Structure 1
Amino acid sequence: MTGTLVNVATVIAGSLLGIMFRHRLPRRVVTVVFHGIGLFTIGLGVSMFQESQWIIVVVLALLFGGITGGAIRLEERIEGLSESLKHKFRFQDERFTEGLITAFLLFCMGSLTILGAIDEGVGNGPELLITKAVLDGFAAMALSAAMGIGVLFSIVPLLVYQGGITLLSMWLGNFFAEQVVNELTATGGVLLIGLGINILKLGKIKVTDLLPALLFVVLFAWMKYINLFPFSLF
């Protein structure tokens, strides 16, 4: 868990610095940074989607994930939780939820996150995650300057998700085969494209309702990997 704890620390430091700069930067500068983050998010999402080898797995994961997220009204529930946190801590940030979700997906959906967590879990050391931690620290600074304190709170899902993969790797060994990691990365990339569209105000995609796709894609990719996937023609 060393790599994840270092990652959490760099995100905290970067977020705090970004929040400090946010109130000192002209509004037009923050807007330009915001647009840059949106474009970067879309570009990163496209590059991550290209990792997919089994596109049908990603499509079905998004389908089942969207049905599940919509049925349980996941976006409404998370927004309600975010509003409760804002009220409890007296935050006045309009982009609290957007900052939290955007930061979580940016920090957690890349191959480096999964491979680094697995690498540490199987005993190869935290070097990959420490490298990622440095990058995330700078990213957190830019994100929080544009989106506010919600970015700081992304350390909670970051700790649970990345740390959880490390712990699972310690117990399950090679469960996260390369093909499974690729499809998880590709699905995260699609969600990032949706986020980028929202950030640039090109549309309103309920990305939060699609988050269960990240669970379904692991299930479907693993079934495909061990030849239990029902759509054998794809």
Structure 2
Amino acid sequence: MVPGVGTLVNVLAVLAGGLVGLLLGNRLPVRTREVVTDGLGLVTLLIAGTSAMAVLDDGLAETVGDSAPVLIVLGALLVGGITGSLLRLEERVESLGGWLQRRLAGGQGSADRQRFVEGFVVSSLIFCTGPLTILGSINDGLGNGADQLLLKSALDGFAAIAFAASFGWGVLAACVTVVAVQGSLTLVGVALGDVLPDAHLAAVTATGGLLLVGVALRLLRIREVPVADLLPALVVAPVLVQVVAAVR
């Protein structure tokens, strides 16, 4: 399969699911939409938990030692969070959402603008911070097939239905983020080849799982965790694995 097809299918799935959600949204009461969003938050917690369990991966423990994996994930979140905060990634993502709202849905009130931005931000984070985004995109670029991205497309399509019913047009705008993030990662796979051993991928997966916990907390309206500011942790995690493995 030609590299990039997986991302194309993913975008089409989000658009199709989002349009279905928009059609249903006007027919669903607010309480029902909130319950659907709560359900997605709980499922996101489940996915996050299974991803975070990668911190117990045997290959990771053999590479960095039994006690180091949790510290590596912690270090990745701290360093990544500081970096993302200094770069104001969360603010920039929200600004991008506001710009898209003005371009695509200008003239609406402040409440509608906030709903658009929230839908864009939450959907972008859901669609782009999971381990399938990273692993699937890189594997697609390496020429190993787009099976993981096709699975992700199915999940994102169903999620887009629920999100669009709750948040509206902002969910469809998240396709821009999907193309940017997954397209970039696919190009990385094409250009660099297989650069991440299994231990490094395990660290990335575990770190991504914790980021998804932050997304779930936002969906459940428990705490507005600035997940976008933490995204650099996905890059820091494999670097820390390499550093620890080198000094052992």
Q: So what's the TM-score if we normalise by structure 2?
A: 0.82
Contact 1:93 1:149 in 2 (8 A): no
- CA offsets 1:131-167 (integer angstroms, 9 cap, x no match): 3222221121122222222222222222222222222
Task: Summarize the Cα distance change of 1:151–1:169 in structure 2 as closer, same or farther, 3 Å threshold.
Answer: same
**Does structure 1 residue 193 correspond to structure 2 residue 213?**
yes
* Residue aligning to 1:76: 91
* Residue aligning to 2:19: 16
* Residue aligning to 2:75: 60
* Residue aligning to 2:52: 49
Structure 1 runs not aligned, ≥5 long: none
* SS at structure 2 position matched to 1:25: coil
* Residue aligning to 1:140: 160
Farther-moved stretch of structure 1 (82-91 vs 28-37): 82-91
Aligned-residue identity in percent: 41
Deviation at 1:10, TM superposition (A): 1.0
Out of 95, 98, 102, the position equivalent to 2:118 is 98
Moved over 6 A (4+): none
Task: Summarize the Cα distance change of 1:97–1:220 in structure 2 as closer, same or farther, 3 Å threshold.
Answer: farther
Deviation at 1:93, TM superposition (A): 4.2
* SS at structure 1 position matched to 2:91: helix
Structure number having the greater helix percentage: 2
Q: So what's the TM-score if we normalise by structure 1?
A: 0.86
Out of 118, 121, 127, the position equivalent to 2:141 is 121
Deviation at 1:222, TM superposition (A): 4.0
2:149 and 2:96 mapped to 1: Cα distance?
29
Deviation at 1:58, TM superposition (A): 1.3
Deviation at 1:114, TM superposition (A): 3.1
Residue 11 of structure 1 aligns to which amino acid in structure 2?
V
- CA offsets 1:65-85 (integer angstroms, 9 cap, x no match): 221222233322332332222
Deviation at 1:121, TM superposition (A): 2.1
- CA offsets 1:67-113 (integer angstroms, 9 cap, x no match): 12222333223323322222232152423333333323332333433
1:178 and 1:121 mapped to 2: Cα distance?
17
1:222 and 1:154 mapped to 2: Cα distance?
33
1:191 and 1:95 mapped to 2: Cα distance?
22
RMSD, aligned CA: 2.2
Residue 17 of structure 2 aligns to which amino acid in structure 1?
G
**Does structure 1 residue 175 correspond to structure 2 residue 190?**
no
Deviation at 1:32, TM superposition (A): 0.8
Count of residues paired in the alignment: 228
Contact 2:90 2:228 in 1 (8 A): yes
